[in-house]
Amino acid sequence: MKLRAKFKKDGDLKYISHLDLMRTIERAMRRAQIKFSLSKGFNPHPLISFGPALSMGATTHGDYFDVVIDDEIEPQKFKDDLNMALPDGLEIIDCYIVDDKDLLSNKVKEAEYIVDVYLVDDKVDFAAEIKRFLGRSEILVEKETKSGSKIIDLKSYILDLKILDVQGNKISLYTKLKISEGSPGPVYVVKALDDFLGHVFDMKRILVDRRNLILN
């Protein structure tokens, strides 16, 4: 059977890599004595797949992974047993059965983020400037890829961008982005907005929380 689990990751675990996250969940399943399926071949590995990787230092309150289980197990029991074995900062918040042909990679289409940034110049009408920023015909940024850097248009990825809160010199932004292979993350949006505003953010102090991956 195949299970889809929704999880959150925060606290000190925000600093672990995507590979370490996979290993942590695998070890927790072994401690919980959950019999997961392994791939065939010389180097068998758990049949587990994740949504888009988070950048180092980012938290999430709505990411997913799929795992193939050898034995029948109720999703609630899988959730409870695995949570007992997971370290602080990592928690399964939902779990349900999906069809074997239901691929997580085909389901993830959008993501919602909250990004906290710190101001070095607060003399900005952010509501008006964000409206002007989004009103441009294109928002070009340089993105590093496996084949080198290339220019992409952020305009086609940004579904929403707005201010949530301002406290002192900290501003909380909400953004919803399209997700696809190689799509830019929220830091690119913040960097492009900062360039547009004339560098009002401390780009060394950015806190990213992926609130939710949206599945179709």
Helices marked H in the chain = 18-31, 75-85, 104-107, 126-134, 186-197
Counting residues of the chain whose pLDDT is more than 70, the rounded percentage is 100
CATH architecture of 2-102: 2-Layer Sandwich (3.30)
Q: How far apart are alpha carbons 84 and 62 in whole angstroms?
A: 19
Answer yes or no: is pLDDT of 123 > 80: no
Q: Please state the domain extents for the chain.
A: 2-102, 109-215
Band of pLDDT at residue 71, cut at 50, 70 and 90: confident
Average pLDDT value for the chain: 93
Phi-psi region of 80 (alpha: psi -120 to 50; beta: other; left: phi over 0): alpha
Spatial neighbors of 53 by CB under 8 A, at least 6 apart, are 18
Mind listing the pLDDT tens digit for each residue in 152-184?
999 999 999 999 998 889 999 999 999 988 889
**43-64 per-position pLDDT tens digit:** 888 899 999 998 889 999 999 9
| Per-residue model confidence (pLDDT) at position 180 | 86
Which CATH number is associated with domain 109-215?
Answer: 3.30.70.3190
- Once rounded to an integer, what is the mean pLDDT over residues 66-85? 95
Residue 124 has a pLDDT of 80
| Mean pLDDT across 192-212 | 94
Q: Which residues, in sequence order, are CB contacts of 106 under 8 Å at separation 6+?
A: none
Residue 196 has pLDDT above 90, yes or no: yes
Q: pLDDT-based confidence at 147, cuts 50/70/90?
A: confident
Q: Note the pLDDT of residue 122.
A: 72
pLDDT of residue 181: 81
What percentage of the chain exceeds 90 in pLDDT?
Answer: 80
CA contacts within 13 A on the Cβ side of 64: 23
d(CA 35, CA 57): 31
What pTM was estimated for this model as a whole?
A: 0.91
Of 10-24, 26-40, 41-55, 73-87, where does mean pLDDT reach its minimum? 41-55
